[in-house]
Amino acid sequence: MLVNLTIIDLAVVKMLDLDLDKGMSVLTGETGAGKSILLTALGLALGDRADAGYVRPDCKRAEINLEFDLSDAPLAQQWLQEQDLDNGLQCLVRRVINHDGRSKAYINNRPATLQALQELSEKLVEIHGQHAHLTLLNSDEQRRLLDVYAKNQPLLDELNTCFKQWQQANKELLALQKAAADQTEREALLVYQIAELQELDMANFSYAAINEEHEKLANLGEILSTGQSVVDSLYENDQLAVIALLGHSLSELGHIARYAPELTEISNLLAEAKIQTEEAALQLRRFLEAQEADPLRLNAIESQLGVIHQLSRKHHIPADELPAQLTKLEQELDRLTHSSERIEALTLQTGQLSARYQALAAQLSERRQQGGSQLQTHISAVIKELGMPQGEFLVAVNPQANSTPKLNGNDKIEFLVASNPGLPPKALSKVASGGELSRISLAIQVTTANDKTTPTMIFDEVDAGIGGGIAEIVGQKLRRLSHNRQVLCVTHLPQVASQAHFHLFVAKTNQTDITASTVRLLDNSERVHEVARMLGGVNITANTLAHAEEMLQQAAVTG
């Protein structure tokens, strides 16, 4: 459960450090006092998108910190262990939003992504907003609620995995079947292109080697001319050859080395240079003698390079990638050649997956019909308590005849309501008023809550549109819901507020130029005055105070 909420410089909140406990806590206050900012802070801390508008004016950043006790959250414990983020039974969540709109998130003091926050939040907190009754009109939401109530998730996951496998196999099958229509023409083109490339002897193909040989043959005249000139200068010119000059230098240096022995090392270097120069000259001469002009080979290579460049342009690839292109075309031809075998295998596979899917869909449909029957009984009973004495809630589960697999099964699920006896049930969107939708939505939330493992549930003015004795029943149900989980409720109804175990009061202050909201826990005496304010408005009489005290005492007794 959530044990602490800290907010710093978020919108109208300058600084808030709020401890929370088990049971039911309500937040009340004047309209505009900032009750919703607490839920906004929770949403941001648990992965909602942030922007610079959330940062309090003239502040560098906003910060939200949440502390959870995981004693009642085994799924969250397991998730944190799997992500190597566990910290015993404590979980710290931190979100920092900078003034430029960028934000950072942390789980147990380690950086985390928004996706990670969202995955974790599903196992810790469930928020029911003011417009939950509008979401209820969505067919996907109706299906989700039924599957949650009927505990269908494992079977639903298995069915959807089967669907995705069928979808992938069927996609490949359709592509192969489409390709088969043009197969003959494509095969002929591939055979021709492969033959063209194979003429280049791809097994021994090296564009770099071919290019290098061409460069050598095309410039052989210059190689021979320049090479011979170098041989002459190094060795064969009697007077000016490098060898002769080095020999003369050695002789002269040897003469004066008798008087300066330290010149011996220099003489040794020159002697070594003479040897190296002579060896280089001899190797160069042997190389030149081995060279022979080969016009036929040069023509052949130039012809080969012309084919290579032509094929390179044809296939829109660099020349050195032609061998890889040949492999690619051969593989495609092999696939086309054997596509009939693959089509046969995929046809069998998709048939088997479709049959398995239909079997799972039938099981799921049966569970939905059973769960729908129980759910409509429970919700019908609750909405009667909530001021719809003639109301009947129905869950219609209609399997569709279409045999093509699809996500989440073959059923069309629709929530219906009959408000008056003798009239046929109709879809919620067609018969229910806003107040009735709110009550039906609340009935569903209360009914399905016991089947959830989420330790903290938050209700943001879900009691809008009701009042009187119905509001008291709503408060009682929320209080009952908090017996095995933490319930936090933002409300404007005294009947609901009086049922809480803890009462938090939100107030707006204007001590500075910038408005700020504060939250504090009310003691028993303060609770009486706040409930009286909610009951009686501006002028609070002794009777109003007595009524408020009676409501609180009655809630404690029926607790």
Tell me, letter by letter, the H, E, C secondary structure of 126-148. EEECCCHHHHCCCHHHHHHHHHH
pLDDT recorded at residue 515: 66
Mapped onto helix, strand or coil, the DSSP state of residue 279 is: helix
pLDDT mean across residues, the chain? 85
Give per-residue pLDDT as tens, 527-559: 999 999 988 766 888 888 999 999 998 887 666
Question: Quick check: 479 and 24 in contact, CB under 8 A?
Answer: yes
Give per-residue pLDDT as tens, 520-534: 899 999 999 999 998
pLDDT band at 188 (very low <50, low <70, confident <90, very high): confident
Give per-residue pLDDT as tens, 299-320: 878 887 888 888 888 889 888 8
Question: Quick check: 209 and 383 in contact, CB under 8 A?
Answer: no
pLDDT > 90 in the chain, percent: 30
CA distances (Å), origin 367, targets 164, 362, 424, 431? 22, 9, 25, 27
Helix (H) or strand (E) holding 194: helix 183-198
pLDDT recorded at residue 239: 66
Mean pLDDT of the 181-210 span: 80
Give per-residue pLDDT as tens, 377-406: 999 988 888 878 888 899 999 998 877 899
- Number of Cβ within a 10 Å radius of residue 359: 12
- pLDDT above 60 for 432: no
pLDDT recorded at residue 324: 87
Give per-residue pLDDT as tens, 131-160: 555 677 788 888 988 998 899 999 999 999
pLDDT recorded at residue 336: 75
> What b/e sequence results for 37-62 when a residue is b if at least 16 CB atoms lie within 10 Å of its CB, and e otherwise?
bbbbbbbbbbbbebeeebbbeeeebb
Give per-residue pLDDT as tens, 272-296: 988 898 888 888 888 887 787 778 8
> Residue 466: which of 436, 497, 490, 446 has the closest Cα?
436
* Start-to-end CA span in the chain (Å): 21
pLDDT band at 267 (very low <50, low <70, confident <90, very high): confident
- pLDDT above 80 for 356: yes
Give phi and psi for 451, each to the nearest 5: -95, 5
Distance CA 96, CA 6 (A): 12
Distance CA 375, CA 167 (A): 32
In this structure, what DSSP letter does residue 463 have?
T
Give per-residue pLDDT as tens, 320-347: 888 888 888 888 888 777 777 888 899 9
Give per-residue pLDDT as tens, 211-259: 887 888 878 878 878 888 888 888 777 667 888 888 888 888 888 878 8
Mean pLDDT of the 154-178 span: 93
The owner of tokens 């120069």 is 277
pLDDT band at 198 (very low <50, low <70, confident <90, very high): confident
Question: Quick check: 205 and 304 in contact, CB under 8 A?
Answer: no
Which region, left, alpha or beta, applies to residue 228 given φ > 0 means left and ψ of -120 to 50 means alpha? alpha
pLDDT recorded at residue 126: 82
The third-level CATH classification (topology) of the domain covering 1-124+454-559 is: Rossmann fold (3.40.50)
> For the chain, where do the domains classified as CATH 3.40.50.300 start and end?
1-124+454-559
pLDDT recorded at residue 152: 94
Structure tokens at 344: 């046969």
- pLDDT above 80 for 54: yes
Positive or negative torsion for Cα 340, 345, 351, 354: negative
Question: Quick check: 492 and 26 in contact, CB under 8 A?
Answer: no
pLDDT band at 164 (very low <50, low <70, confident <90, very high): very high
Give per-residue pLDDT as tens, 112-121: 999 999 999 8
pLDDT recorded at residue 512: 61
- Which comes out higher in pLDDT, residue 158 or 470? 158
DSSP track, 31-97 = TTSSHHHHHHHHHHHTT----GGGBPTT-SEEEEEEEEEGGG-HHHHHHHHHTT--BTBEEEEEEEE
Exposure on the CB side of residue 325, measured as CA atoms within 13 A: 22
- In total, the chain counts a number of residues equal to 559
- Which comes out higher in pLDDT, residue 23 or 484? 23
pLDDT band at 514 (very low <50, low <70, confident <90, very high): low
Structure tokens at 58: 């003239």
Distance CA 116, CA 104 (A): 12
